[in-house]
Structure 1
Amino acid sequence: MAAVTWRVVRCWCPSLPQVFRFPVAQVHLGRPKMRASQQDFENAVNQVKLLKKDPGNQVKLQLYALYKQATDGPCNMPKPGMFDLVNKAKWEAWNALGSLPKMYQEILLALKNASTDNSAITVFTGAGDYYCSGNDLTNFTSASGGMEEAAEMGAVVLREFVNAFIDFPKPLVAVVNGPAVGISVTLLGLFDAVYASDKATFHTPFSHLGQSPEACSSYTFPKIMGSAKATEMLLFGKKLTAREACAQGLVTEVFPDSTFEKEIWTRLKAYVKLPPNSMRISKQLIRKNEKEKLHAVNAEECTTLKERWLSEECINAIMSFMSRKSKL
């Protein structure tokens, strides 16, 4: 049998893994083969050196910290001596990340690997009944090192995470098999196609949690569905059905849940037969005029979110949510 040339990233759902009935090239997140190598890091360092403008030591320290966090996990090394300034700065940058959510580590690594392998398209889907249940809010209540430090590094991580989607060179397809919440919804504006089961729903309850939009949704959602409909979702937290999301342009097409898996994988098998370089070039032409805008929006959203995370309103809203959840 010929090798299948699409990639399935199964990362959104906390439930049991889905069993596909088609031969697919799968990324089993968290396996050792997903780990970046020292050579990967050295290649990235060399690419930074080729930049026409030096990004500065702070950016380079953040890149180093994210690499160490992704490959080795939370900082597990003793702090260098006070006179070892270079290694001390690296250690502090790595240590400041604390316990970066595993989901973000794995998705960043998966996207990095998928961007350079021989797959034609990259597909995100859920495993089980949900596409994604949203961020784990206990990260806010169990942050080590203080809220200010956690908010600062959280904004850095979120910015890098969303940038990976903005810059991804291949077609990105979301196969939304069930309910989706939070960042898994806002990221859809950066995908090239979104296919949904008719049991899928789309919810962005930011105001309920004292937060603000992310993943460029403050720009992409009004552009896709118009200001009024975007406001209903991002400000008032309206939950959309799959049909409503399709009517508003967020979803490309909706399929009956009973035939969803069969129909969608049949379609994707046809897509991967298309010339991959042609698809990459076409995506570049479609996206290149707004990439700079998306990066600017992402930076502004992350700065705003950092301020929101430190606000009394946000902290109280999250604590109230956690309290209600614990009583269920």
Structure 2
Amino acid sequence: MATSQKDFETAVNQVKLLQTDPENEVKLKLCCCCCCCCRVPSSQLKLYALYKQATEGPCNMPKPGMFDLINKAKWDAWSALGSLPKERARQNYVDLVSNLSTSESSSQGKPGTDGKQSGHDAVVVTSEDGITKIMLNRPAKKNSVTTQMYHEIMLALEAAGKDDSAMTVLTGNGDYYCSGNDLNNFTDIPPGGIEEKAKNSAILLRKFVDCFIDFPKPLIAVVNGPAVGISVTILGLFDIVYATDRATFHTPFTHLGISPEGCSSYIFPKIMGPAKAAEMLIFGKKLTAREACAQGLVTEVFPDSTFQKEVWTRLKAYSKLPQNAVRISKQLIRNTEKEKLHAVNAEECLVLQSRWQSDECVNAVSNFLSRKPKL
């Protein structure tokens, strides 16, 4: 039986009522990638493509540029439908929406899933025993950092610097500490194009790193698993870094056509020597927790089986020390280099602004996102 226009319009309205997370592989909201750990199945774009085919017929748009990842994915999905008749596209659209609605209804009342983390959910702040804990909370996405999370972390640090806690801890939920930037950050291109995107990203990154440089209390990283990118480079701005023995530390910047950040171009050579820093920052060598500790990036490594218990027992004991004395001691250690660190941060962000617009970066990110997942 042919699908009527009314049935089609009902299905279109029904899509708006779906509660399914935007990262669901068949609902387009409208993004083409999630994070550096994800690959995009073609079915993710079916709703968009079928809607366009049903309302406009075969794809009639020019193919978007390579770095316009969202619109390119949409174009590919629509173009792939070829000369599929409008009537058949309407039927397929209605059938797909019906399947989505049925699947969603059957899942109602089940416990929340890991993957549905957004906005304030993705950064959880708690305070107990004189310790403010900032936890990255996107375990299904390996705690990759979205643009919104950058803002959330900055707000959390600002509040923690003024509260009555003795220290602040940054950690991750799940198997990963943090897998670096959510690559979806690079696909939201503003009207000003890549140039405006690069400028805005550089401003955000500079403010973000400045928050760590200026933080007035002891700042401790509890690295509960692998760390990548920005989560590694800013470790040099922490006062203590505790890691589980299964943690790894990876800065694959040149693989993506970009350059170091987080003051790592200055701090890493200082703490581990120029050669070791070059091996990590230029050539992307991944360090084990033991190697990172031997090179001065990590304070101490603990067995994974006792990691949480040992670390938090120690931190709770530290939190009972006289707070004013602790804060003043940190200032004496850190203040001499604040001006230098701010200058390094500014220079790194300026260089990155240029690198993000380079052909090397554009091609590297595009190739990375288009790779097929390993089975």
User: Structure 1: how far apart are the matches of 2:359 and 2:141?
Assistant: 36
User: Structure 1: how far apart are the matches of 2:307 and 2:363?
Assistant: 40
What is the CA-CA distance between 1:225 and the residue it aligns to? Answer: 0.4
Match of 1:191 among 225, 238, 246: 238
Counterpart check, 1:103 vs 2:160? no
Aligned to 2:255: 208
What is the CA-CA distance between 1:101 and the residue it aligns to? Answer: 1.0
Q: Secondary structure at the match of 1:246?
A: helix
User: Structure 2: how far apart are the matches of 1:316 and 1:172?
Assistant: 37
What is the CA-CA distance between 1:17 and the residue it aligns to? Answer: 11
Q: Secondary structure at the match of 2:139?
A: coil
User: Structure 1: how far apart are the matches of 2:183 and 2:325?
Assistant: 41
Whichever residue aligns with residue 364 of structure 2, its letter is: A
Counterpart check, 1:8 vs 2:133? yes
Task: Give the greater-gyration-radius structure (CA).
Answer: 2
Aligned to 2:204: 157
What is the CA-CA distance between 1:316 and the residue it aligns to? Answer: 0.4
Aligned to 2:182: 136
The alignment's C-alpha RMSD in Å is: 1.9
Aligned to 2:171: 125
* Number of residue equivalences: 246
Residue pair 1:13, 1:130 contacting (<8 A) in 2 also = no
Q: What are the Cα deviations for residues 39-83 of structure 1, in whole angstroms up to 9, with x where unaligned? A: xxxxxxxxxxxxxxxxxxxxxxxxxxxxxxxxxxxxxxxxxxxxx
Whichever residue aligns with residue 189 of structure 1, its letter is: G
Residue pair 2:177, 2:226 contacting (<8 A) in 1 also = yes
Match of 1:289 among 336, 341, 360: 336
Aligned to 1:316: 363
Whichever residue aligns with residue 211 of structure 2, its letter is: A
Whichever residue aligns with residue 209 of structure 1, its letter is: L
What is the CA-CA distance between 1:140 and the residue it aligns to? Answer: 1.5
Residue pair 2:217, 2:327 contacting (<8 A) in 1 also = yes
User: Structure 2: how far apart are the matches of 1:233 and 1:16?
Assistant: 24
| Closer/same/farther in 2, CA of residues 113 and 294 from structure 1, 3 Å limit | same
What is the CA-CA distance between 1:9 and the residue it aligns to? Answer: 0.5
Aligned to 2:324: 277
Residue pair 1:12, 1:132 contacting (<8 A) in 2 also = no
Whichever residue aligns with residue 10 of structure 1, its letter is: M
Q: What are the Cα deviations for residues 194-238 of structure 1, in whole angstroms up to 9, with x where unaligned? A: 000000000000000000000000000001100000001100000
| Closer/same/farther in 2, CA of residues 149 and 327 from structure 1, 3 Å limit | farther
Whichever residue aligns with residue 284 of structure 1, its letter is: Q
Q: What are the Cα deviations for residues 130-177 of structure 1, in whole angstroms up to 9, with x where unaligned? A: 000110112223322211100001000000000000000000000001
Residue pair 2:142, 2:179 contacting (<8 A) in 1 also = no
Q: What are the Cα deviations for residues 234-256 of structure 1, in whole angstroms up to 9, with x where unaligned? A: 00000000000000000000000
| Closer/same/farther in 2, CA of residues 17 and 247 from structure 1, 3 Å limit | closer
User: Structure 1: how far apart are the matches of 2:184 and 2:350?
Assistant: 21
Aligned to 1:245: 292
Counterpart check, 1:233 vs 2:280? yes
| Closer/same/farther in 2, CA of residues 221 and 7 from structure 1, 3 Å limit | same
User: Structure 1: how far apart are the matches of 2:277 and 2:147?
Assistant: 28
Q: Percent same amino acid at aligned positions?
A: 69
Long gaps (5+) in structure 1: 19-99
Residue pair 2:142, 2:174 contacting (<8 A) in 1 also = yes
Long gaps (5+) in structure 2: 1-127
Structure 1 stretches (4+) deviating beyond 6 angstroms?
none
Q: Secondary structure at the match of 2:165?
A: coil
User: Structure 1: how far apart are the matches of 2:180 and 2:216?
Assistant: 25
User: Structure 1: how far apart are the matches of 2:260 and 2:137?
Assistant: 19
